[in-house]
Structure 1
């Protein structure tokens, strides 16, 4: 064997070893993500200060109001003079999320308005240099997350930036989401200039200055090319090999898929996440006072997990840095429910079917209204009595959602399935069960509880 050939074999083996190790690391990171099930989404920026009001009247478009109201950059930037979130407490945020059962937090490092909620050296359009606050929330959150054992993820608006002159868009039509009132010549915009001048430098900052970043949560790839998506992915992994990337990096380069403000219609066995709002808007809005009930949030959560996904539940802090008072019931509801039923959620997998209806009229999973990325909600609004399932080891967990009946039948279990035991999580009461013609009948014990009416029965099968 020649020396050259020997060296080529050694190099090839080293490359294969590195690729194999990288694949194993990615698999472990994906496994963690799939077991985590629940994260907190935080939309926070200049729009949090105005909270749905502009020039004394309600603004259109929620946190996208700069676009919908065609506000010039010089005027929008003046919001920073008033944005001083003196009540922001990173540790309080993280502890609230942790207590509610959330395993990771994703915060808007830079939203569509281009304003960074961290100390960016490559763009002075940020919270440290433009506001009286002068603090770096991402730095404080990274410290708090590490202390509490919560993973930190960062949202970054990729294909929209209304502060930069070189960002064209094409949805729902040409220039449909571009800043054309400050930068009217859409054809003169060169996306690559923006990516090289702002995107890549800011991603380097975020992946270098804040410790471990569990995921980069991109939004709106718009006109980003496949080559640009690849380059961004390579940049990320050159700095942090364990950082997961969502599908909105574009062009099939993400590690997990995203659906927004709707539920999946079937089991999806590749990694995915549904991001949902507690109220109507993503960012804080003074006119958004009706939040989903804890029961509705948990119904949605269970549906998502039964189909193999994670729920990323959004909160919009105020301009002072506080979670809105309407969110307290949601956090408390998740805490109380997961304290009893968490074993049926964490580390579970979809069963052979995600669920069954107990009423003749099935509940639809998606809204028929057209998608609108500022304000849209395709989540079912009813509390239909039905079942959802997850599985782990030798158990199947049956989520009886909003049931009124004293017994129900699981049609997906027949008399060939040997049942060892059925228990109701959080209760020592006996649960009766028997095989019947059309499935397995479960008797609901009579018990007094203030628990949210999504009850979990654990079925243990004989080995």
Structure 2
């Protein structure tokens, strides 16, 4: 069960498997920002609706879960392949040596941006550094990075892949999000080699060794300063690893938060203020840590069952994994459309993850899904972007959005069949106090026959070849 400031919600699974390592609860105690520029940024972000998430790092060479196999927890997502090391320490050594073979020569962010833009995506969030500590940007704080001479790809003119991705997507009109992991399992300031790591948390007591923890705070601050200073306009700072948090913010009702045994306060006020100096109006997402720096909440691999009255985004994989896995099972386009419709009808954004492979490109199946999606988006975009939720939100097979000026209501029809099936007649509830002037079915050029009976609208379904979902658009008088 997920706690929210105003009510409890149930998350419905968007996939057949959800890793507990990757579950993220909606925080209790959401605090609305007061900065006018941040409020405007959130309003603009809520108009975007659909974004691209990319988890990419050296781990793509092994085709394994991102970072988590380094974590010494006995969980399904941390399983290590014996071929990569018979002991834990052998495994870690070999994992870190992946830096020496990482050479994604097919890297072409323009290809990604073109495909994502055609599919209707409006923003991108890229993993500049995951928990393993390997920086996909040119940090000066560590040599464990893609631009290091130890990494073969450092010789490529596009070696700073974060810079290339941000500039390319920005040129195509995307808003830019920088994912950054607060925990760093590579640096000695978080996992001190003097002690073995026990779990995902810092492996020493920061209160007992304050000098070492201060170095970690400075390390983290400096890397985020680099990202928000040297990479052009950044619209979202998306901070992961919610166990790095003030001890007082732990929610004992959340299982994974109960594993946090020590204080791990990295001074988010100092980090957040710095980020806002560098990038006025930037949205900061300190995931699962309620307060001034969780500007929107991020249910993962799931969709809230009911609308939320705070800004939110579901991050969901196109395949089964956030990271690249050979022969991953990609969701059919119909499922992606249905997920988008359910999310926007409940007032959220959809951040769809596609993982590049070791050579620097998506699987062809991902491009196929984006291309199939593009034709449906092109027809129905007026019902998707710059919309908001409206009651009754969801009624049977029908899902609702509205224009921000309340002059248009959009009604999406979904079917449970493997292939979308239109009913002989569309029949649904009209939102309260919405006087209908015109009825259209997006993608149909002819006149629509409809009748209104009290608060119910009935439409004779015209003959048309519709994939994935039909969209009825109502205009008010």
What is the TM-score normalised by the length of structure 1? 0.79
2:279 corresponds to 1:275: no
Which of 206, 213, 236 aligns to 2:275? It is 236
C-alpha displacement at 1:66, in angstroms? 2.6
Q: 1:124 aligns with which of 143, 162, 169?
A: 143
Contact kept in structure 2, 1:164 and 1:194, CA below 8 Å:
no
Provide the C-alpha distance between the structure 1 equivalents of 2:392 and 2:431, rounded to a whole number of angstroms. Answer: 11
Residue 104 of structure 1, CA deviation: 1.0
- In structure 2, the CA distance between the partners of 1:438 and 1:285, relative to structure 1 (3 Å rule), is same
Q: In structure 1, what is the equivalent of residue 414 of structure 2?
A: 401
Alignment of 1:87-126 (within 5 A): 87-126=106-145
Residue in structure 2 matched with residue 454 of structure 1 by the alignment:
469
Q: Superposition pairs for residues 160-199 of structure 1, below 5 Å?
A: 160-167=183-190, 175-178=198-201, 192-193=213-214, 195-199=216-220
- 1:154 aligns to what? 178
> Which residue of structure 2 aligns with residue 205 of structure 1?
226
Give the Å deviation of 1:76: 1.3
Equivalent position SS for 1:128? coil
User: What runs of 5+ residues in structure 2 fail to find an aligned partner?
Assistant: 1-33, 72-77, 81-87, 192-196, 250-264, 416-420
**SS state of the match for residue 205, structure 1?**
helix
Instruction: Give the aligned length.
Output: 393
Partner of 2:95: 76
Q: Deviations over 1:189-229 (max 9, x none)?
A: 76833542421110011111111111011112203227622
Return the offset for 1:175. Answer: 4.4
How far apart in 1 are the matches of 2:110 and 2:437?
A: 45
Query: Which runs of structure 1 show a deviation greater than 3 angstroms over 4 or more consecutive aligned residues?
Result: 70-73, 165-168, 183-195
Structure 1 SS opposite 2:153: coil
2:13 aligned residue:
none
Q: Does 1:27 align with 2:30?
A: no
Note the residue ranges of structure 1 that are not aligned, 5 or more in a row: 1-21, 53-60, 169-173, 358-385
| Aligned counterpart in structure 2 of residue 285 of structure 1, from 317, 325, 334 | 325
CA distance in 1, matches of 2:46, 2:205: 44
Structure 1 distance, partners of 2:431, 2:271, is 47
Q: Please say if residues 45 and 117 of structure 1, whose CA atoms lie closer than 8 Å, have aligned partners that are also in contact.
A: yes
Larger Rg: 1
CA contact (8 A) 1:105 1:152 kept: yes
Deviation string 1:156-207 (CA, Å, 9 cap, x unpaired) is 111x322123437xxxxx943248xxx6899977683354242111001111
**1:218–1:205 Cα change, 3 Å:** same
SS in 2 for 1:351: coil
In 2: Cα distance, 1:186 partner to 1:192 partner: 5
**Contact 2:169 2:176 survives alignment (8 Å):** yes
TM-score (norm 2): 0.77
Offset, 1:232: 1.9
Which among 57, 68, 84 is matched to residue 64 of structure 1? 68
Q: 1:133 aligns with which of 153, 165, 168?
A: 153
Distance 1:356 1:249 in 2: 31
Q: Which residue of 2 aligns with 1:314?
A: 353
Higher relative contact order, structure no. (Cα contacts within 8 Å, ≥ 6 residues apart): 2
- The structural deviation recorded for 1:82 is 1.4
RMSD of aligned Cα (Å): 2.5
Give SS of 1:234's match: helix
